Amino acid sequence: MNGSNIEIDWEAAREANLKNWDDRVPLHEAAYGLDAFDDPQHISDVVSDDLPVLRRFLPGDSLADLDLCHLQCHIGTDTISLARSGAHVTGVDFSAPALRVAAALAERVQVDATWVETDVLDARSAVTGDFDVVYTSIGTICWLQDLDRWAAQIVALLRPGGTFFIRDGHPALLALDENAELMTTRYSYFGDGRAQQWDDESTYAGDGTVAHSRTYEWPHPLSEILGALLRAGLQIIHFDEGRTLPWRFSPRMVEVPRGYAWPHAERDLIPCTYTIVARKD
């Protein structure tokens, strides 16, 4: 059953997820609207939403000339957008096909970027140098089992005084039954170490299907996310919750500018995203 909690070895789950994400690459290459990046002023909707928040916590309210590491960068559209916003960027992802598309797009639109193929949980050992900003956004940490190891990578990548930014799907949202007629909790909010098993040939962008449909995700409550960052030694300097998503979580969601939201009468009932900004001393 989709969303059922099971015991599975991390390496086996990671391998299944990698096959699934490799399959998504050509679908997303076709669906992400990459031709828009031929306009040198174009940046992704995700970065357009994140930048106004992130800039408030940067020197001079700008990414200009800052070194930025983008974790779980996929095909690089947000990484390239961050570069166009002034940063010197390094994109990290575990999918070689995704990074090939990212590198080809960056070369085509004449954006300088470094791409590193590695698991995010091994990022420090694979990535050269340290950074003013570590960034991750939307649909990322549900794929990770060990958030303490994740947070340790972030701290190790950051320079003293550096800034970490994450915006992601809210764990309260992800506990809902996406197909129910009313807001109904179906899945675990609190994790117990077991993975949620999913079997879905579709993806959140494009109309095609993947050959490897089995994936594994881990629920992480806000207490675990914040706790991992705090235990790693980061200082939380901003927290917020949002009402819109860049993908349609539920068929009942309605399209709004740059994303999707619950019908207006339900929009204040539950958050769709959370945003955390943290700093390394």
Residues in CB range of 234: below 8 A, 6 or more apart: 151, 154, 155, 164, 278, 279, 280
> According to the model, what pLDDT value does residue 267 have?
96
Instruction: Identify residue 218 by its one-letter amino acid code.
Output: W
> According to the model, what pLDDT value does residue 11 have?
97
Instruction: Identify residue 37 by its one-letter amino acid code.
Output: F
Cα separations in angstroms, 173 against 23, 30, 48, 202, 280: 26, 28, 22, 20, 29
45-15-169-202 Cα dihedral, nearest 10 degrees? 70
> According to the model, what pLDDT value does residue 158 have?
98
Domains of the chain as residue ranges with CATH: 4-280 (3.40.50.150)
Q: What is the pLDDT along the chain (281 residues), one digit of tens a residue?
A: 587 899 999 999 999 999 999 999 999 999 889 999 999 999 999 999 999 999 999 999 999 999 999 999 999 999 999 999 999 999 999 999 999 999 999 999 999 999 999 999 999 999 999 999 999 999 999 999 999 999 999 999 999 999 999 999 999 999 999 999 999 999 999 999 999 999 988 888 878 898 898 999 999 999 999 999 999 999 999 999 999 999 999 999 999 998 999 999 999 999 999 999 999 99
